[in-house]
């Protein structure tokens, strides 16, 4: 069984992206008989989904965890939902900036993660890694990839989802504007490794999610 772990190339003028630093650090890891395969995705609307599809076809994973950078987030953001819209605040790495364009024309408004998001958050916290459920993956390339991932794997029996990561300290040190939270790459690698351990355990247990209340009013 393979676990596909995707990360993005740097974007927005950065030279690092924590999602790729973490994914590549875990590439080749064997966990309880499962093999981690890391694939880098371009931060380009026109190329990200073909690259994802190629990775899915090539590696036929049993679990997919897609990772992305979310500057400003202070913990591991386990995303609940992908929405069918691309609405870019900044141009992607090819200069494209779609505004209010569907990811997949005629597709449903949204797809939910098929990972047990509450169990994952609880398990990460219990292991010492701050984590929370996020109700939005934004409307940039991460959300596009998350939507395309859930669309591609619909009814395939492959559990998949998305997690946003905080900045790396090297990025936060030079970030313009008010200071932003960051986690070291070692901490992020350890946390994502733990997330994969938790997902493998949940796979053994039939993917039942924990009934932990998480709603907020804001
Ligand atoms: N973060 C961006 C795109 C690539 C990444 O790592 C996002 O949140 O959409």
What is d(CA 177, CA 2) in angstroms, rounded to the nearest whole number?
41
Compute the distance from residue 58 Cα to the ligand 1 centre, in Å.
23
Compute the distance from residue 215 Cα to the ligand 1 centre, in Å.
24
In a domain, 213, yes or no: no
**Strand, helix or coil for residue 127:** coil
pLDDT at 216: 66
Give the chain's residues under pLDDT 70.
216-218
Give yes or no for a contact between 88 and 96, defined as CB atoms under 8 angstroms apart.
yes
In a domain, 68, yes or no: yes
What is d(CA 154, CA 158) in angstroms, rounded to the nearest whole number?
8
Choose one of 91, 98, 140 to mutate for the ligand 1 pocket test, by most ligand atoms within 8 angstroms of C-beta: 140
In a domain, 21, yes or no: yes
What is d(CA 180, CA 62) in angstroms, rounded to the nearest whole number?
35
- How many domains are contained in the chain? 1
In a domain, 218, yes or no: no
In a domain, 72, yes or no: yes
In a domain, 217, yes or no: no
Compute the distance from residue 95 Cα to the ligand 1 centre, in Å.
15
pTM: 0.97
In a domain, 216, yes or no: no
pLDDT at 72: 96
pLDDT at 213: 86
- Pick the residue whose CA is nearest to atom 8 on ligand 1: 142
What phi and psi values does residue 82 have, to the nearest 5 degrees?
Answer: -110, 135
Give yes or no for a contact between 134 and 82, defined as CB atoms under 8 angstroms apart.
no
Q: Which domain holds residue 101?
A: 2-205
Ligand 1 contact, 171 CB (< 6 A)? no
pLDDT at 218: 53
In a domain, 102, yes or no: yes
CATH of the domain at 170: 3.40.630.20
């Amino acid at each position: 069984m393979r676990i596909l772990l995707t990360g993005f190339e740097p974007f927005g003028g950065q030279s690092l992206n924590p999602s790729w630093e973490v994914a590549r650090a875990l590439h080749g890891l064997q966990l309880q008989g499962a093999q981690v395969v890391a694939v880098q995705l371009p931060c380009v609307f026109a190329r990200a989904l073909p690259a994802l599809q190629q990775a899915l076809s090539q590696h036929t994973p049993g679990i997919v965890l897609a990772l992305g950078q979310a500057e400003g987030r202070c913990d591991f953001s386990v995303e609940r939902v992908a929405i069918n819209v691309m609405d870019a605040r900044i141009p992607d790495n090819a200069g494209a900036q779609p505004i209010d364009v569907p990811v997949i024309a005629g597709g449903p408004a949204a797809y939910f993660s098929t990972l047990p998001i509450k169990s994952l958050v609880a398990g990460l916290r219990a292991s010492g890694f701050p984590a929370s459920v996020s109700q939005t993956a934004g409307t940039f390339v991460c959300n596009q990839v998350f939507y395309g991932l859930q669309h591609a794997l619909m009814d395939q029996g492959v559990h998949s989802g998305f997690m946003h990561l905080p900045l790396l300290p090297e990025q936060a040190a030079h970030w313009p504007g008010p200071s932003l939270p960051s986690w070291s790459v070692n901490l992020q690698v350890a946390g994502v490794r733990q997330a994969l351990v938790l997902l493998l355990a949940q796979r053994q247990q039939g993917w039942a999610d924990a009934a932990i209340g998480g709603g907020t009013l804001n």
